Amino acid sequence: MANKPTHQLIRHTTETYGESFKADLLEQYKLYVESAEKVSERRVSANNYLLTVNAFLVTLYGVLAASPYRSVWVILVPIAGVLVSLTWFQIIVSYRNLNSVKFKVIHEIEQYLPAALFEYEWQKAEEGRGKAYRPLTHLEQWVPLVFIALYASLAILMAWTAIRRG
C-alpha cells in the first residue's frame, strides 16, 4: 500500500497508522464477519418467533371457527395473520439487504488480506444465481407468502360459507 489510502474503506496505511495496522485490520475483519453472523442468527430467531405466532393464529382460527362466537373472529384472525405475515416478509427482506451490504464490505476488506475467502466462495456459488447455491432468504421469504395465501383462503372460504347460509 502507498502512503495514502486508495480506498474509502481503508483510512490508513501502515505508515500512517503504525506497525499494528495489519493485525488491527485483521481483528476488525473478524469482528465484522462475526457481526454478519449475528445478523443471520437474529433472522433465524425472528423467523422462529413469527412462525410460532402464525401457528398460534391458525390454531386460534380453527378453535374459533368451531365455536358459537366465531362471527367477528373468523374475519379478524385472518386479517391479523396477513398483517403478521406481511411484516415477516419485510423483516426477511430487511435482513437479506443488511447482510448483502455486510458481505460487500467483507469482500472489500478482503482485498487487503492475503485471501478473499468469502468473495471466492460467493463466486463459486455463482452469486446465488446458479444451481450450486440458492440464498436461504430467497427461499424463506416464501413461508410468509404461503401463510398469506392460507389466511386469504380461510377468509374467502368463511365468506363463501356465510353467503351460502344466507
* pLDDT tens by residue, 32-49: 999 999 999 999 999 999
Measure the N-to-C terminal CA separation of the chain; round to a whole number of Å.
Answer: 80
Rounded to two decimals, what is the model's pTM?
Answer: 0.84
Query: What mean pLDDT do residues 132-159 have?
Result: 88
The pLDDT of residue 166: 65
Q: Is residue 5 within 8 Å of 11, Cβ to Cβ?
A: yes
Residue 2 pLDDT grade (very low, low, confident, very high; cuts 50, 70, 90): very low
Query: What mean pLDDT do residues 133-157 have?
Result: 89
The pLDDT of residue 72: 81
Which CA distances in Å does 50 have to 73, 78, 107, 141, 156? 20, 15, 32, 12, 23
Q: Is residue 102 within 8 Å of 34, Cβ to Cβ?
A: no
What is the C-alpha to C-alpha distance for residues 150 and 142, in angstroms, rounded to an integer?
12
Q: Amino acid identity of 142?
A: W
Non-local (6+) Cβ contacts of 113 within 8 A are: 25, 26, 29
What is the C-alpha to C-alpha distance for residues 144 and 34, in angstroms, rounded to an integer?
28
For residue 105, pLDDT beyond 70: yes
